[in-house]
Amino acid sequence: MEAQEFKIQTFYSDRFDVSSTSNLSLFLYDGSLSVLARNSTGAVIGSHLYSFNSQSGLTRIFSQDSLINAQNTAGKLHVHNNQFCLVPSVLFDPSEKSTYLNFTTALDEEKYEIFYEGVDSNNIQVVGAVEKEVLNLLDPVLPDLEITHVSCLILSYLSGLRSHLLGQELFVFAEQGYMYVAAFAGTELRLYNRFPVRGEQDFLKYTFAVTHQLAFDRMYCRITLLGELSGIQVDVEVLNEYFKNIQAGVPQSNQTYSPGAEKFKETNLLEAFWTV
């Protein structure tokens, strides 16, 4: 039997009409894609959540998805990958964006599109990259597509929490097989990175390394887990044996929905709660 190239979950408002789509947000993960359609007021009217197992599956999604192929839409692609770095804006030179990125990951610039975006009141520039092959697939239907790294969404979300932070704070954003970790000492962002995690041992390895590097007290440091924890295969009750102040949370929300479409929040994805 031929393997299924992709699976889809749909979340529609009670009066969903694809022709009402005026803006799209696409979130591309390793093996999954979420597509959010907004109307002219910015409210989410429908969402598609895909899982795929091959490049051909992604190609078919881009060519067939009713939201992506709706008429008169603008879009922004948010990329999940390891091809990113943070640069203080006072040191940033746009002409050197590929140089900054190559400090953290070696890229073939013929195969990757490199981009950047300012966050944290434009104090930090997030430099990222995405395969040109992916952009070429989207160009026929979204020729004016904006590109950003998901780190911009995460750091935007965290910037709104600064007034409530403890002296030592870790935020963990779980996705399928990876976690982003942001560490704060007071209101200062001290560390931000993405790690592969498939179980408690991986989680403990990277979290212990971060707390040790920053001289954080794991019995005091507050650790907040956000996202779908099954994606990194961890159980908070197990982690409670190693950290005194660890909790699973629900993101604050600035996302608006047309009635019925809010079922997308059940995915626990950050984009279901927060937008920029």
94-103 pLDDT per residue, tens: 999 999 999 8
Once rounded to an integer, what is the mean pLDDT over residues 163-190?
94
Once rounded to an integer, what is the mean pLDDT over residues 41-46?
96
Neighbours of 225 (CB within 10 A): 20
Judge whether 1-159+252-267 and 162-248 match in fold: yes
**Cβ–Cβ under 8 Å, residues 124 and 89:** yes
Mean pLDDT of the chain: 93
Q: Could you tell me the two tokens for 44?
A: 């989410």
- The domain spans of the chain are 1-159+252-267, 162-248
Query: How much is the pLDDT for 104?
Result: 85
What's the CA gap between 184 and 221, in Å, rounded? 10
DSSP states of 23-42: EEEEEE-SSEEEEEEE-TTS
Query: How much is the pLDDT for 221?
Result: 94
Does pLDDT of 148 surpass 80? Answer: yes
- CATH fourth-level superfamily of 1-159+252-267: Protein of unknown function DUF3822, N-terminal domain (3.30.420.250)
Once rounded to an integer, what is the mean pLDDT over residues 25-49?
96
203-258 pLDDT per residue, tens: 999 999 999 999 999 889 999 999 999 999 999 999 999 999 999 999 999 999 99
What pTM does this model have?
0.93
pLDDT band at residue 4 under the 50/70/90 scheme? confident
Query: Class for domain 162-248, per CATH?
Result: alpha beta
What burial class does residue 72 get, using C-beta atoms within 10 Å of its C-beta: 0-12 exposed, 13-18 middle, 19+ buried?
A: exposed
Once rounded to an integer, what is the mean pLDDT over residues 112-141?
94
Query: How much is the pLDDT for 229?
Result: 93
Strand order in the sheet with 23-28: 6-12, 44-52, 32-38, 23-28, 74-79, 146-149
Query: How much is the pLDDT for 166?
Result: 86
What's the CA gap between 55 and 44, in Å, rounded? 27
